[in-house]
Amino acid sequence: MKKYIIIIVSTLTLFVSSCSSDYSLEKSVFIEDVTNPGLPIYSEWGYNTFGAYIDREKFISESSQLPAKIIVNTDTLNLTLKGVMGNSGSPVTMKFSIKGFAPADYPDLIMLNDTTIDLKNSKCTVTLNTSGYSSVLKIITGTLQFKRVQNLYVDKELSKAILSGYFSFKTFMHNEPVAISNGRFDLGIGYDNFYNY
């Protein structure tokens, strides 16, 4: 009987210590989507990942940098996705600017829950920065969908807003039509990556 008690206590100690280890809500969790190779799965858990195909090249977040920031200026919300493109890992930044929406703080992002934005609308712009070259994209057709926005509480205190959804659009790059497809995001937005000034 003593032997079983020692084993149970040892197992519980190991379990409790692993739960309280250096876990951080800031980390990225990349689980590959088997139907869209190279992209993360669609999730609503605050995995801090995003991904899309730009034509056939993958554009994804990476674990070594903060994948997203929201910057609110006057009456415009700017959602910036920072990642890498292709196997070479070239840095790419994609920014969605939504005019007419200016939340005061990150808990107010919940107003975006179940919202689809027409990117061709003149109130929205998409900017792409690749290799230091920045351009506002001319959108042919496309949408940005906030499928689920939820506030995350840890020990009854608000920790983050989790934004999950999809994006896809057709545009021009280097005077050639390009499709950005299968875009998905699952982002934790909080004190460290929400700015309103």
Q: pLDDT confidence of 81, banded at 50, 70, 90?
A: very high
CATH of domain 27-196: 2.40.128
pLDDT band at 20 (very low <50, low <70, confident <90, very high): very low
What pLDDT was estimated at residue 26? 67
pLDDT computed for residue 158 by the predictor = 94
- Please check the confidence at residue 77 and state whether its pLDDT lies above 80: yes
pLDDT at residue 87, rounded to an integer: 83
Ramachandran class of 47: left when φ > 0, alpha when ψ lies in -120 to 50, beta otherwise = alpha
Q: What mean pLDDT is predicted for residues 73-83?
A: 96
Q: What does the pLDDT read at residue 27?
A: 83
DSSP the chain: -HHHHHHHHHHHHHHHHHHTSS--TTS----B-SSSTTSBPP-SS---EEEEEETTEEEE--TTS--EEEEEETTEEEEEEEEEETTTTEEEEEEEEEET---SSGGGGGGGTTEEEETTSTTEEEEEEETTEEEE--EEEEEEEEEEEEEEEETTEEEEEEEEEEEEEEEEETTEEEEEEEEEEEEEESTTTEEE-
- Closest CA relative to residue 90, chosen from 139, 122, 128: 128
Residue 23 has pLDDT above 50, yes or no: no
Q: What angle do CA 49, 170, 168 make, to 5 degrees?
A: 30
Structure tokens belonging to residue 193:
């990556």
Tens digit of each residue's pLDDT (9 = 90 or more) over 152-166: 999 999 999 999 999
